[in-house]
Amino acid sequence: MTSPILHLLKRLSRALGLDTADSFPPGHRYARTRWNAAYFDIASNVQPDEMERRICDAIANTPLVFGHIVNPTPRMQRTLLGLLEQRLRLGHRREAAQLAALLLRAYGSRDTPEAVPGLRAVIDAGAHLDGNERIAAVLDFLGGSAAPFDVIEMQ
């Protein structure tokens, strides 16, 4: 008897925004995406697009919070990839490697959608390598294209 009452109270609390969200609402396209609510203060009644935008803003401001997201959406990944590309362009390879390690961890789950075509194949191909070699392979893949991450640069 208490279970239906608790379930109802939980749904009511979520609808009123009294809870801190740690995932998208059930039935959402990226319902498997989870985040640590302690790092992302998002009320449960916020619309999913706004949730994603706030998380992307948090990643842009503090990239290491990406490590507190399970199965990040492509938009979240692109935010991290943009920061990674910026670090590579500026010659900060060590910082870029740190971000690539976060990306590798995220792709440890098969439920993580691929944000850049071919990225999962590169990560899977390097499964037998040690951590530093895997990071180098990902950085080479991401830094090797003429227009990384669907950005066209003028010469």
Give the C-alpha distances (Å, rounded to integers) separating 11 from 3, 4, 42, 86, 134. 12, 11, 16, 42, 43
The answer, yes or no, to whether residue 144 has pLDDT greater than 70, is no
The mean per-residue pLDDT over the stretch 16-27 comes to 81
Give the number of C-alpha atoms closer than 13 A to the C-alpha of residue 73, restricted to the C-beta side. Answer: 20
Three-class secondary structure of residue 83 per DSSP: helix
Give the pLDDT score at 1.
52
The mean per-residue pLDDT over the stretch 23-40 comes to 93
The rounded distance, in Å, linking the Cα atoms of 47 and 135 is: 35
**Predicted structure pTM score:** 0.82
Bridge partners (DSSP) of residue 69 are: 35
Give the pLDDT score at 152.
44
